[in-house]
Amino acid sequence: MSDYDEDTAFLGQTGPFFWTTFFLLNTVFVSTGFNGLYMVFIGATPNHHCLIPDFNLTEEWTNAIIPFTLVNGEEVKSQCSRYSLDVVRNMSAEGLIPGRDVNLTDLVQEGCLDGWNYSKDIYQSNIVTEWDLVCDDQWKVPFASSTLFVGYLFGSLISGHVSDRFGRKKVVFISLVAQSVAVMLQSFSHSWQMFCVMFLFVGASQISLYISAFVLGTEVLSKTMRILFTTLGAFLFYCIGYMTLPWIAYGIREWRTLLAVLSSTAVVYIPLWWFIPESPRWLITQGRVEEAEAIVREAARKNKIEAPAVIFKEYDVSAQFKKYTMLDILKSKKIRSITLMCLILWMAINIGYFGLSLNTSNLSGNPFMNCFLSATTEVPAYVVSTVLLKKCPRRALLSSFLVIGGGVLLLIQFIPEDLQYVALALEMTGKFGFTMAFSIVYIYTAEVYPTVLRNVGMGMCSSAARIGSITAPYVIYLGSYNKALPYILMGSLTIASSVVNLFLPETLNRDLPETVEQMQECQGLCNGLKKRKYLEDEGRKNLPIQRDVRQDLQAPLVPESPRWLLSRGRVEEAEAEAILIGAAKSNNVEPPKAIFTQAEIDYAMSRKDKKYNFSVIVSSCNMFSITVLCSMLWIVVTIGYYSLVLNTSNLNGDPFLNCFLSGLVEVPAYIIALLLLQ
Among 157, 675, 115, 182, CA closest to 464? 157
Distance separating alpha carbons of residues 163 and 230, to the nearest angstrom? 18
pLDDT at residue 256 in the model: 93
Cβ-proximal residues to 120 (8 Å cutoff; 6+ apart), any chain: 46
Give the pLDDT confidence of 185-199 residue by residue, as tens digits: 999 999 999 999 999
| Range from 137-151, 380-394, 452-466, 532-546 carrying the lowest mean pLDDT | 532-546
How buried is residue 648: exposed, middle or buried, by Cβ count under 10 Å (0-12/13-18/19+)? middle
Cβ-proximal residues to 225 (8 Å cutoff; 6+ apart), any chain: 13, 14, 18, 19, 22
326 pLDDT band, cuts 50/70/90, is low
Cβ-proximal residues to 31 (8 Å cutoff; 6+ apart), any chain: 176, 179, 209, 241, 265, 266, 269
Distance separating alpha carbons of residues 542 and 564, to the nearest angstrom? 25
Distance separating alpha carbons of residues 563 and 541, to the nearest angstrom? 20
Which H/E stretch holds residue 70?
A: strand 68-71
Local structure of residue 574 (DSSP, 8 states): -
Distance separating alpha carbons of residues 269 and 279, to the nearest angstrom? 18
Local structure of residue 233 (DSSP, 8 states): I
Give the pLDDT confidence of 539-593 residue by residue, as tens digits: 444 333 334 444 444 545 677 777 777 666 666 555 777 777 777 777 777 877 7
Give the pLDDT confidence of 399-427 residue by residue, as tens digits: 888 888 888 888 877 777 677 778 788 88
Helix 16-34 × helix 234-251 angle, to 10°: 40
The pairing of strands 68-71 and 74-77 is antiparallel
CA distances 563 to 61, 524, 560, 575, Å, are 80, 27, 9, 11
Helix 378-389 × helix 394-412 angle, to 10°: 150
283 pLDDT band, cuts 50/70/90, is confident
Give the pLDDT confidence of 22-44 residue by residue, as tens digits: 899 989 988 888 877 888 888 88
Q: What percent of the chain has pLDDT over 90?
A: 7
Local structure of residue 647 (DSSP, 8 states): T
Torsion 68-71-76-79 (CA) sign: negative
Cβ-proximal residues to 213 (8 Å cutoff; 6+ apart), any chain: 25, 28, 29, 168, 172, 234
Distance separating alpha carbons of residues 58 and 50, to the nearest angstrom? 17
Which residue blocks in 52-139 are alpha helix, DSSP H?
59-64, 85-93, 127-131
Question: Radius of gyration (Cα) for the chain, nearest Å?
Answer: 32
Which H/E stretch holds residue 617?
A: helix 614-619
pLDDT at residue 387 in the model: 81
CA distances 327 to 317, 333, 458, Å, are 23, 12, 14
Local structure of residue 77 (DSSP, 8 states): E
- pTM equals 0.66
Q: Is 595:580 a contact under the CB 8 Å cutoff?
A: yes
Distance separating alpha carbons of residues 236 and 30, to the nearest angstrom? 9
